[in-house]
A and B are shown apart, each in its own frame.
Chain A
Amino acid sequence: MDHVEQVRLLERFSNKSTSGTLHLTATHLIFVESNNTATTILHHHIASVEKLSLTTSGCPLVIQCRNFRVVHFVVQRERDCHDIYSSLLRLLRPVSYDELYAFSYNPKQNEQQREEGWQLIDLGAEFERMGVPCDRWQLTDVNRDYKICETYPRDLYVPITASKPIIVGSSKFRSKGRFPVLTYFYQEKKAAVCRCSQPLSGFSARCLEDESMLQAISKANHNSRFVYVMDTRPKLNAMANRAAGKGYENEDNYSNIRFQFVGIENIHVMRTSLQKLLEVVGSRFLSVNDYLLGLESCGWLRHVKAVVDAAIFLTKAVTVEGASVLVHCSDGWDRTAQVCSLGALLMDPYYRTIKGFMVLIEKDWISFGHKFADRCDQLDGDPKEVSPVFTQFLECVWQLTEQFPQAFEFSEWLLLQIHEHVHSCQYGNFLANNQRRREELQLGDRTHSLWAFLLREQQNYLNPAYCPTYADTHPVLEPSTLPCHFKFWRNMYHQFDRSMHPRQSVLKNVLTLKESNCQLEDTIKDLETVSTCIKSNFICHIQMVSRYPVLTTSACLAFPTDPVLTTSRTVEGSSGTERKESYSDLQGTYGAKAEPAVVSLEFGVARMTC
């Protein structure tokens, strides 16, 4: 069975529906409406499929996607519905990496382009940009063969004074062998941001090598006599871990540290919190009070703020006090990644550019072994390992872009697009849990890089208000931590719910205008050249004739009519050209009732009664 006809697609927040044909391919689910507009859903994006009980109009099928799209189909015949349901269930649960879309995706590129795409980001060069190696930090080859820590990258940076025995000893004392290594170097104060996992201290165990390791980190920074150790977990969680032989650093054993808990909750709390949030905002006829109470009780914004608060703490310690900071949580690949990368974003303007942001994700998330495969549920695995940690990081970045509209080269569209592809498994970047596994899968040879794709169309992701000189006056961002400055990210969690969004997008308009400005500037340059040529009589007729038509066409392009973004997602309302269509959308919704005896007018989510 490859397609089912006469399927209705119900709109999520109104009573409107469209009918069309549902196609099932090896990689996509495609719904084609009678007017030929298509809704395409990648199988990897589907988080769950649910068959609801039969109604008079047919058999309802609800599909929830990881990019927060929720579609509700009604299939006429139950048998068809069951067929789709069971086929989807089978397609949804890939058991091996080879089944993932990235290995079959072919964007019509030649081999050279593909290889170049993978070479765009070079972490060695990134550490060089930070000023490492230097007289205090060096590259170590202890993990060349992933022997010390298989979830770390091969290249690691440690203090010059940290000898191999110290490293080996320290790694044995750290959960999963994730010993303290450098992730960001704040050149101005020579202060380091290091990361690791929790120590295996239990109630009383200690490790001299680990203590020497922290000593070495401390010694590498002359600004401060101590190192901050940020345990990003709530104190209670950390204490509970002691019973399992893990735990946190005892200040008595480490003479040179200042220990601090920052209280970010674990992956399970975050998963439940987002689920609750989605339940709240997904309900129809939601009242303002239920919405706000729901926002409060799900705790999502509180968690987002906790992560930002932690990043601010880190930033202040490094940039104001000039102290080095060691960040960890339990395994050092979730909260630690969030805090280190967000802190670096606040400290270093480079990470606020498009390329820099990619480098940041590549460094703190991909190379240091954030478990994308487990957290994003790429293969059929343990549902308890799934958690929106990376989504939460993207949201923190979005909150910052809202507070500092001039500081970021990219707009939220880049964040949304990255989020889309973290789950799409279309590119190789985010597959698997760590670098070692990626190398085994030979992703560099068999898949394409997302960064190359994003950089190619980067004009779509530009923030028109971006001011490159902003970094000179504000090298370090100091965000407000007042709760009123944290907002619900509608364009993420409702990105496919058109009716929720502004009908016209400022971002899109200004972006289009900015692009047209560039074209106009070119046109002016061309026109000026031509006119100087004519004036100086240098030009012969043939040249004139051949150039002029070209110029007129380019000038006609002053206002490009094509929408800038070609993705099917409505990010911030619809463009000017779509406007009419979206009104007719509404027209359908509020179509006049033939018999007004029982008046049940409807507007948006509001219901009027007579």
Chain B
Amino acid sequence: MFLCSHFILTQPVTFLVKHQQRCQEMEFAELIKTPRVDGVVLRRPFLPTVEGTLCLTGHHLILSSRQDNTEELWLLHANIDAIEKRFVGSLGTIIVKCKDLRVIQLDIPGMEECLNIASSIEVLSTLDSVSLMYPFFYRPMFQVIEDGWKSFLPEDAFKDLESMTEEWRLSDVNKDYSVCSSYPPLVAVPKDVDDDTLRKAAAFRHGGRFPVLSYYHKKNGMVMMRSGQPLTGTNGRRCKEDEKLINATLRAGKRGYIIDTRTVSVAQQAKARGGGFESEANYPQWRRIHKAIERSSILQESLIKLVEACNDQSHSMDRWLSKLEASNWQTHVKEILTTACLAAQCIDREGASVLVHGTEGTDSTLQVTSLAQIILDPACRTIQGFQALVEREWLQAGHPFQQRCSQSAYSNSKPRCEAPVFLLFLDCVWQILRQFPCSFQFSQHFLVLLFEHTYASQFGTFMGNSASERSKLNLSQKTVSLWSWVNRPQEVERLSNPLYEANCLVIWPSVAPQSLLLWEGVFLRWKRSSRCLDEAYDEMVHIIQYNNKELQNKVNNLRRQLAQLETEEPLLQTP
């Protein structure tokens, strides 16, 4: 498929290899004991085997058959999740398991070469130093039309808000990241609340994440806010400023909903560790609803189990279904979608404002707020709008991408903070896309692309854990933004959904288990020959484009010509 497309580009291999080798000489020379092995055989499911030369560079594993027009393998070391070694005589085999869930096999002649290659890959794929990561070395081989780092500035987003309401202001209380380390420098807050109140409210919220605006529902002026949990502790501490802040978002006599993404018992337990939830007594105008989105460590376990189930070679139906069930993945999808629907329902149907939080407010909270916007706001269903949403609700909002995505489903090392929080969000978007296949400007390719780039990328977009870390790394100067790549016309076209017709309505997905499907595009992607499905998809695209472009144009042209001929005709007859 398009697995390596963004690595290969159109440049000759030699150029890239030279470029790579320069890097390698500098930082990686001692890590690469054997940079080149000939006669390596690459085996991939459903693709012909390739024999060729294997090259290791500082950031890539490259296999080239050194013949024209043959496919080459370019694999980022960062994409490698785990490797396994096997030996039969002097023939070594390395099984490479990637973060994008692909599994490939390399047969390497020579035991020493094989061992060297394996140990180099192991080291290179787990480098801890951020400054050695590929985005800092990557030079774009395409023309940057629009710098993605400047595409979605908070100031611009706020201009849109200003055109709709005057009740909000942009505060720079966090300009040096001192109030909240995971927030961006600029946040939208109620106009009547001053920065001092914000600072005090921040002290009362987990990680300093005081309630900020997430979404303004133009239709009825209701809002969705997000925050960290309140630090009530066991004594039931309260904070007048926090109460003032969120009450400022309510219209006179109106109530709001607080959606706590944790179950009541989990929220209760949080009190012992200084956290907690908003009590009825102190927040009488708010009604609290508890939901059950799992903590990130449980999600990681779920991903591992799901991928294991998908890779199971057993032909037993019962085994597959029970493993799928035991992974609980679909349950998480349903739970997250349901909570997002609930938030959207409170806003759109009940006409109430909503505050969403879990514990930290950087994981389940963002899943809910971003999905609710997909449901409510047609703008989020466009290619640009979806990027803006990811930028606003995930990157700026401080989802710790680097921590969450440093390992995927195969890694043998003990998970630290890894969790497929963003992947679950993408899965939920895919579920909605499946149910409303004409309401999204993008196809599932875009979602798969984002999944790949969150785990391994040549772009700097998903590096770091927060806006403050990204600014310290000076990513906007030193790396290329993924959005610069995506927003080129040819890429936009590739990611476009040919069936798209703007739909300004709120889209309510079904969350019945029968309506939720396993996302084959990610989890079964390498489990079958995708060619025939791709061809069917291409055929569909062809039918649509043939209609829209060629035929319609032709008809219009002919009509025009005909009209012209008609007006000319009398002239022809009257000379």
The residues of A with any CB-CB pair to B shorter than 8 Å are 13, 281, 286-293, 295-296, 299, 301-302, 305, 309, 403-406, 464-465, 467, 480-488, 490, 494, 499-506, 509-510, 513-514, 516-517, 520-521, 523-524, 527-528, 530-531, 534-535, 537, 544, 555, 558, 573, 576, 579-580, 583, 586-587, 590-592, 596, 599, 601, 603-606, 608-610
Contacts and interface: CB of A to CB of B under 8 A. Distances in A.
23 contacts: A281-B514, A287-B334, A293-B325, A296-B317, A405-B532, A464-B539, A482-B313, A483-B320, A484-B524, A485-B524, A501-B515, A502-B436, A514-B547, A517-B546, A521-B551, A527-B558, A530-B562, A573-B435, A590-B508, A604-B341, A605-B512, A606-B511, A608-B342
A583 B437 CA distance: 16
B338 interface: yes
A534 B571 CA distance: 13
A465 B331 contact: no
Contact of B321 (A292, A482, A494): A292
A15 to B, nearest CB: 14
Interface stretch (B117-125, B157-165, B345-353, B466-474): B345-353
Interface string B494-517: 000001010101111111111111
A601 B552 CA distance: 47
A590 B514 contact: no
A502 B437 CA distance: 8
A464 B331 CA distance: 34
Given A299-B317, A558-B552, A576-B501, 20 more contacts: A287-B334, A288-B330, A288-B516, A289-B328, A465-B540, A485-B524, A488-B514, A500-B514, A502-B436, A510-B499, A514-B547, A517-B543, A531-B562, A531-B565, A573-B435, A583-B505, A586-B508, A591-B349, A603-B511, A604-B338
Interface string B524-552: 10011000110110011001101100011
B555 A504 contact: no
Contacts of A579: 503, 505
Contacts of B330: 288, 292
A516 B287 CA distance: 52
Contacts of A603: 338, 341-342, 345, 508, 511
Contacts of B501: 576
Contacts of B499: 504, 506, 509-510
Interface string B301-325: 0000000011001111111111011
Contact of B547 (A289, A465, A517): A517
B528 A301 contact: no
Contacts of B217: none
Given A482-B315, A499-B510, A531-B565, A576 B438 contact: yes
Contacts of B325: 288-289, 292-293, 296
Contacts of B566: 534, 544
B543 A510 contact: yes
Contacts of A403: 528, 532
Contact of A465 (B333, B536, B551): B536
A502 B509 CA distance: 8
Contacts of B514: 281, 286, 291, 488, 490, 494, 500
B321 A596 contact: no
B219 interface: no
Contacts of A544: 566
A405 B533 contact: yes
Contacts of A605: 511-513
A490 B558 CA distance: 45
A470 to B, nearest CB: 8
A478 to B, nearest CB: 10
Contact of A503 (B310, B436, B547, B554): B436
B540 A537 contact: no
B488 interface: no
Contact of A592 (B288, B349, B505, B547): B349
B321 A520 contact: no
B346 A601 contact: yes
A509 B438 contact: yes
Contact of A510 (B349, B544, B559): B544
B173 interface: no
B321 A500 contact: no
A487 B514 CA distance: 10
B572 interface: yes
B255 interface: yes
Contacts of B287: 596, 599, 610
Which of B319, B320, B322, B338: most chain A Cβ within 10 A? B320
A225 to B, nearest CB: 30
A535 B565 contact: yes
Contacts of A287: 331, 334, 513
B207 to A, nearest CB: 27
B166 interface: no
B95 interface: no
A592 B572 CA distance: 70
